[in-house]
Amino acid sequence: MTAADLYLDLLKKVLTNTLFDREPDVEASQAEFILGFLQHYIRGPAISMLPLARMDNLEACVKDVVARNVPGDVIETGVWRGGATIFMRAILKSLGVTDRSVWVADSFEGLPEPDAELFPKEAKAYHGVVMQREFQHLAASLEDVRGNFSAFGLLDSQVCFLKGWFKDTLPTAPIERLAVMRLDGDYYESTMDALRSLYAKLSVGGYVIVDDYGEEDWTYCRQAVDEFRAAHHITEPMIGVDRSCVYWQRSV
Ligand SMILES: C[S@@+](CC[C@H](N)C(=O)[O-])C[C@H]1O[C@@H](n2cnc3c(N)ncnc32)[C@H](O)[C@@H]1O
């Protein structure tokens, strides 16, 4: 391994709190998994709640677009404490890339309240005790996220914050082109808002990553992706990263 690879490897583990601890067991019962998730990520020192397999996928996508000169910036819509975007900035740094930005899009006040009539499963989860009291709707402030970038020595002019609801920030965001778009806003509307505003800016050869495609119990994320793909005649195959996350590479 080169020093750069070692750096990225170490960073992944620190960001996901897996240097000395294990990820929560996805095979455990739902109650055990939620408790593990709470302890490991929410109450723990993790800066990202991505499983390592998703960090590896993100690394592969960003390195690939750089290697093949696919033009554009990289973005994550839904960043929580910022870990995945910090990792993207680190990858660009490790490759000596100075002409691409990392866009960090979030309300920085947690998930939006879903419409209970249109999205009953999401509304139920949103109003649940665990989400409200323990997860606090996954809110992390802009100040904290900036502080996290700064703590890793990665807060610089190649990092651009988009604060607000996606429906308000993304349509007018001053993004020219994207090479990687990572969607992690959890819900139907958050996913659809990102696809509607950003997919047209994605370069051919670039990647879309959808974190929650396989989650069926509490979100309609999959429906948003399927509807968008059907409406825009997107037929590139979706590739699974793990039990929930998928990605595809734009070919036309
Ligand atoms: C699951 S967390 C993201 C996890 C993150 N990618 C990581 O690496 O840990 C979901 C995030 O999406 C944000 N979010 C969801 N829908 C949003 C919307 N419509 N507008 C703005 N932020 C949104 C929430 O504030 C939250 O920070």
- The string of pLDDT tens digits covering residues 76-127 is 999 999 999 999 999 999 999 999 999 999 999 999 999 999 999 999 999 9
For the entire predicted model, the pTM comes to: 0.98
Q: Which residues contact 66 (CB under 8 A, 6 or more apart)?
A: 91, 92, 95, 97, 100
| Residue nearest to ligand 1 atom 16, measured at CA | 185
Name the band, by pLDDT with cuts 50, 70 and 90, for residue 15.
Answer: very high
Looking at residue 30, its pLDDT comes to 87
- Among 144, 170, 186, which residue has the most ligand 1 atoms within 8 Å of its CB, making it the best to mutate? 186
**Domain locations in the chain as residue ranges:** 50-122+139-249
- Among 14, 40, 111, 152, which residue has the most ligand 1 atoms within 8 Å of its CB, making it the best to mutate? 111
What CATH architecture does domain 50-122+139-249 belong to? 3-Layer(aba) Sandwich (3.40)
Token duo for residue 24: 């929560």
DSSP state, 27? T
Complete edge-to-edge strand list for the sheet that includes strand 202-210: 159-163, 102-106, 73-77, 178-183, 202-210, 246-249, 239-240
DSSP helix/strand/coil, 17:
coil
Rg (C-alpha) for the chain, rounded Å, is 17
Ligand 1 mean position to 107 CA, how many Å?
7
Q: Yes or no: say if 137 and 80 are a contact pair by the CB < 8 Å rule.
A: no
- The string of pLDDT tens digits covering residues 26-84 is 889 989 999 999 999 999 999 999 999 999 999 999 999 999 999 999 999 999 999 99
User: Would you say the CB of residue 178 lies under 6 angstroms from ligand 1?
Assistant: no
